[in-house]
Protein backbone atom coordinates (compact mmCIF):
# COMPACT_ATOMS: atom_id res chain seq x y z
CA UNK A 1 0.00 0.00 0.00
CA UNK A 2 1.42 3.35 -1.05
CA UNK A 3 0.65 6.61 0.70
CA UNK A 4 0.66 8.77 -2.41
CA UNK A 5 -1.80 9.45 -5.20
CA UNK A 6 -2.00 11.83 -8.13
CA UNK A 7 -4.80 14.24 -9.00
CA UNK A 8 -5.77 16.82 -11.60
CA UNK A 9 -8.43 19.48 -11.24
CA UNK A 10 -9.83 19.33 -14.78
CA UNK A 11 -10.53 22.25 -17.17
CA UNK A 12 -14.29 22.35 -16.43
CA UNK A 13 -13.59 22.96 -12.74
CA UNK A 14 -10.72 25.43 -13.17
CA UNK A 15 -12.78 27.49 -15.66
CA UNK A 16 -15.74 27.66 -13.27
CA UNK A 17 -13.49 28.90 -10.45
CA UNK A 18 -13.78 25.73 -8.33
CA UNK A 19 -10.04 25.11 -7.84
CA UNK A 20 -9.88 26.71 -4.40
CA UNK A 21 -12.95 24.93 -3.05
CA UNK A 22 -11.75 21.58 -4.40
CA UNK A 23 -8.27 22.01 -2.88
CA UNK A 24 -9.91 22.97 0.41
CA UNK A 25 -11.97 19.75 0.40
CA UNK A 26 -8.87 17.70 -0.45
CA UNK A 27 -6.86 19.23 2.41
CA UNK A 28 -9.75 18.93 4.88
CA UNK A 29 -10.06 15.31 3.74
CA UNK A 30 -6.65 14.70 5.29
CA UNK A 31 -4.42 14.82 2.22
CA UNK A 32 -1.24 16.85 2.17
CA UNK A 33 0.19 18.35 -1.00
CA UNK A 34 3.61 17.02 -2.00
CA UNK A 35 3.77 18.69 -5.43
CA UNK A 36 1.45 21.04 -7.29
CA UNK A 37 1.30 23.07 -10.50
CA UNK A 38 -1.13 25.13 -12.59
CA UNK A 39 -0.54 24.16 -16.20
CA UNK A 40 -2.21 23.27 -19.49
CA UNK A 41 -1.80 20.06 -21.48
CA UNK A 42 -1.30 20.11 -25.23
CA UNK A 43 -3.47 17.67 -27.19
CA UNK A 44 -0.44 15.47 -27.62
CA UNK A 45 0.30 15.42 -23.88
CA UNK A 46 -3.36 14.71 -23.01
CA UNK A 47 -3.32 11.87 -25.54
CA UNK A 48 -0.21 10.42 -23.95
CA UNK A 49 -1.56 10.75 -20.40
CA UNK A 50 -4.79 8.93 -21.33
CA UNK A 51 -3.12 6.41 -23.67
CA UNK A 52 -4.70 3.49 -21.73
CA UNK A 53 -8.11 4.69 -22.95
CA UNK A 54 -7.05 4.89 -26.61
CA UNK A 55 -9.50 2.23 -27.76
CA UNK A 56 -12.48 3.65 -25.84
CA UNK A 57 -15.10 5.51 -27.92
CA UNK A 58 -14.72 8.70 -25.89
CA UNK A 59 -10.92 8.97 -26.23
CA UNK A 60 -11.02 11.84 -28.77
CA UNK A 61 -13.52 13.79 -26.68
CA UNK A 62 -11.47 13.20 -23.55
CA UNK A 63 -8.25 14.43 -25.18
CA UNK A 64 -9.99 17.55 -26.57
CA UNK A 65 -11.54 18.30 -23.19
CA UNK A 66 -8.39 17.76 -21.15
CA UNK A 67 -6.40 20.09 -23.41
CA UNK A 68 -9.15 22.75 -23.56
CA UNK A 69 -7.94 24.85 -20.62
CA UNK A 70 -5.73 25.00 -17.55
CA UNK A 71 -5.56 22.24 -14.96
CA UNK A 72 -4.11 21.87 -11.47
CA UNK A 73 -1.87 18.79 -11.19
CA UNK A 74 -0.83 17.55 -7.74
CA UNK A 75 0.74 14.69 -5.83
CA UNK A 76 -1.10 14.00 -2.56
CA UNK A 77 -0.08 12.08 0.55
CA UNK A 78 -2.23 10.24 3.10
CA UNK A 79 -2.43 6.69 4.45
CA UNK A 80 -4.28 4.54 1.91
CA UNK A 81 -4.12 7.51 -0.49
CA UNK A 82 -5.36 5.92 -3.73
CA UNK A 83 -8.49 4.30 -2.29
CA UNK A 84 -9.32 7.15 0.09
CA UNK A 85 -8.99 9.72 -2.68
CA UNK A 86 -11.29 7.74 -4.99
CA UNK A 87 -13.81 7.76 -2.15
CA UNK A 88 -13.45 11.54 -1.71
CA UNK A 89 -14.01 12.26 -5.42
CA UNK A 90 -16.90 9.81 -5.95
CA UNK A 91 -18.04 7.83 -8.99
CA UNK A 92 -16.86 8.69 -12.52
CA UNK A 93 -20.40 9.74 -13.42
CA UNK A 94 -21.41 12.56 -11.03
CA UNK A 95 -25.04 11.45 -11.27
CA UNK A 96 -23.96 8.26 -9.48
CA UNK A 97 -21.53 9.91 -7.07
CA UNK A 98 -22.31 9.97 -3.37
CA UNK A 99 -23.62 13.16 -1.78
CA UNK A 100 -20.80 15.44 -0.61
CA UNK A 101 -18.14 13.97 -2.90
CA UNK A 102 -16.12 16.33 -5.09
CA UNK A 103 -17.69 15.08 -8.31
CA UNK A 104 -21.20 15.31 -6.87
CA UNK A 105 -20.53 18.89 -5.78
CA UNK A 106 -18.62 20.22 -8.79
CA UNK A 107 -19.00 17.96 -11.86
CA UNK A 108 -21.52 18.35 -14.65
CA UNK A 109 -21.22 15.11 -16.62
CA UNK A 110 -19.36 11.80 -16.93
CA UNK A 111 -16.87 13.42 -19.32
CA UNK A 112 -16.44 16.78 -17.61
CA UNK A 113 -16.15 15.40 -14.12
CA UNK A 114 -14.03 18.01 -12.31
CA UNK A 115 -11.19 15.84 -11.01
CA UNK A 116 -8.90 12.94 -11.81
CA UNK A 117 -7.74 10.44 -9.21
CA UNK A 118 -5.27 7.60 -9.85
CA UNK A 119 -6.80 4.12 -9.83
CA UNK A 120 -3.76 2.22 -8.49
CA UNK A 121 -0.44 2.76 -6.70
CA UNK A 122 1.37 1.92 -9.92
CA UNK A 123 -0.55 4.49 -11.96
CA UNK A 124 -0.18 7.10 -9.20
CA UNK A 125 3.61 6.82 -9.55
CA UNK A 126 3.51 6.90 -13.36
CA UNK A 127 1.15 9.90 -13.41
CA UNK A 128 3.13 11.84 -10.81
CA UNK A 129 6.29 11.26 -12.84
CA UNK A 130 4.50 12.53 -15.97
CA UNK A 131 4.15 16.00 -14.42
CA UNK A 132 6.85 16.40 -11.77
CA UNK A 133 10.60 16.12 -11.55
CA UNK A 134 12.39 15.13 -8.33
CA UNK A 135 13.08 18.81 -7.65
CA UNK A 136 9.37 19.66 -7.71
CA UNK A 137 8.14 17.27 -5.00
CA UNK A 138 8.59 17.61 -1.26
> Rounded to the nearest whole angstrom, what is the least distance from the CB of residue 135 to ligand GDP in the complex?
28
- In sequence order, what are the residues at sequence separation of 6 or more whose Cβ sits closer than 8 angstroms to the Cβ of residue 113? 10, 12, 92, 93, 94, 103, 107
Residue 76 sits at φ, ψ, to 5 deg, of -120, 150
Residue 7 makes contact with ligand GDP by CB under 6 A: no
> Rounded to the nearest whole angstrom, what is the least distance from the CB of residue 74 to ligand GDP in the complex?
15
**Could you confirm whether 116 is annotated as catalytic?**
yes
Residue 60 sits at φ, ψ, to 5 deg, of -60, -45
Residue 111 makes contact with ligand GDP by CB under 6 A: yes
Q: Which residues are near ligand GDP by CB under 6 A?
A: 53, 58, 61-62, 92, 110-111, 113, 116, 119
Amino acid sequence: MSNRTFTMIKPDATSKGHSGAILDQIIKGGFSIKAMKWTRLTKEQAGEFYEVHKERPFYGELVDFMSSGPIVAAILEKDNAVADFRKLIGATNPAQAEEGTIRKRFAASVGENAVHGSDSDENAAIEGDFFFSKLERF
